[in-house]
Amino acid sequence: MNYITPPRYLYRRAGRDYRELIFFAFMAAALFLKFFFLEGVVSGRVDRHALSAAASAAFCVITVSLLSLCWRRIRLPLSLAADLLLTLLVLTDVLHMRFYSDLFSLHNIGLSSQVADVSESVTALISIKDILYFADIPIMYLYYRVFRRISVHPFFRAVTAKRLVCMLLLLAASVGVIAWRVQSYDRKIRGVLRSMWDRPAVCNNVGAVTYRLADTWNAIRDLAGKRRLSQSDIDRTRALYEAQTSSFRIPAGVFGAAKGKNLIIIQIESLQQFAIGLRFNGREVTPNLNGFVRGASFAGSAYNQTSSGNSSDAEFLVNAGLYPAAAGVAYTRFAGNSYEGLPKYLREKGYRTIAMHGDKAGFWNRGHMYPALGFERFVSKKDYETDELIGMGLSDGSFLRQSLAMLKNEKQPFYAFLITLSSHYPFNWEALAKRADFSIEGYRGTVVGNYMSAIHYLDREFGSFIAGLKEAGLYDRSVIAVYGDHTAIPRWDAAALSRLLGTDLSKDHVWRDMQRVPLVINVPGQKTLPVSKKNSFGLINLPRTLALLLGFDLRSGFGADIFDDSLRPVIFRSGSYIIGNVFVTPQNKSAVNVKTGEEAGFDGYGDTTSLAAETLAASDMILEHDLMPRMHEKKEAAK
Do 578 and 466 lie in one domain? The reply is yes
d(C-alpha 539, C-alpha 454), whole Å: 23
CATH of the domain at 603: 3.40.720.10
Question: Apex CA 519: angle with CA 515 and CA 525, to 5°?
Answer: 165
Indicate whether 96 and 168 sit together in one domain: yes
On whether residue 1 sits in a domain, the answer given is no
Domain assignment present for 285: yes
pLDDT at position 183, please?
A: 83
The vertex-23 CA angle with 19 and 27, nearest 5°, equals 170
Domain coverage including residue 21: 7-224
Q: Are residues 179 and 313 in the same domain?
A: no
Integer Cα distance of 246 and 264 in angstroms: 27
DSSP string, 62-123: HHHHHHHTS-GGGHHHHHHHHHHHHHHHHHHHHHHHHHHSS---GGGGGGGGGTGGGHHHHH
Tell me, yes or no, whether 527 and 384 share the same domain.
yes
Domain's final residue, options 189, 224, 259: 224
For 32, the enclosing helix (H) or strand (E) is helix 19-42
Q: Provide the pLDDT for residue 46.
A: 53
Q: Which of 158, 193, 224 is the last residue of a domain?
A: 224
Residues 132 and 245 grouped into a single domain = no
- Does 333 fall in a domain? yes
Q: Is 359 exposed, middle or buried (0-12, 13-18, 19+ CB in 10 A)?
A: buried
What is the tens place of the pLDDT at every residue in 388-420?
999 888 999 999 999 999 999 999 999 999 999
CA gap 41, 38 in Å, rounded: 5
- Could you tell me if residue 2 is inside a domain? no
Assess whether 150 and 298 both reside in one domain.
no
**Nearest CA among 523, 563, 562, 564 for reference residue 539:** 562
Task: Provide the residue type at 198 as one letter.
Answer: D
What is the pLDDT at residue 44?
60
- Summarised one tens digit per residue, pLDDT across range 546-563 is 999 999 999 999 999 999
The single-letter DSSP state of residue 342 is: H
Question: Are both 214 and 275 inside the same structural domain?
Answer: no
* pLDDT by 10-residue block (mean), the chain, 639 residues: 48 66 94 89 65 85 92 92 93 78 68 46 72 94 88 84 90 88 78 71 82 83 74 91 93 93 97 96 95 96 89 96 88 91 97 96 90 97 94 93 98 98 88 83 88 95 98 98 94 88 89 93 95 94 97 95 94 92 88 92 93 94 93 63
Can you tell me the distance from the alpha carbon of 607 to that of 237, in angstroms, rounded to the nearest whole number? 18
- Rounded Cα gap, residues 484 and 528, in angstroms: 21
Instruction: State the total domains in the chain.
Output: 2
pLDDT for 566 equals 92
pTM: 0.76
224, 252, 271: which is the final residue of a domain?
224
> Residue 464 in contact with residue 397, Cβ under 8 Å?
yes
Same domain, residue pair 188 and 235: no
Length of the chain, in residues = 639
30 closest CA partner among 93, 83, 70, 78: 83
Cβ atoms 331, 364 nearer than 8 A: yes
Inter-residue contact 324 to 316 (CB < 8 Å)? yes
Regarding whether 414 and 293 lie in a shared domain, the answer is yes
**559-580 pLDDT, tens digit each:** 999 999 999 999 998 889 999 9
Closest-CA residue to 180 (of 32, 48, 55, 49): 55
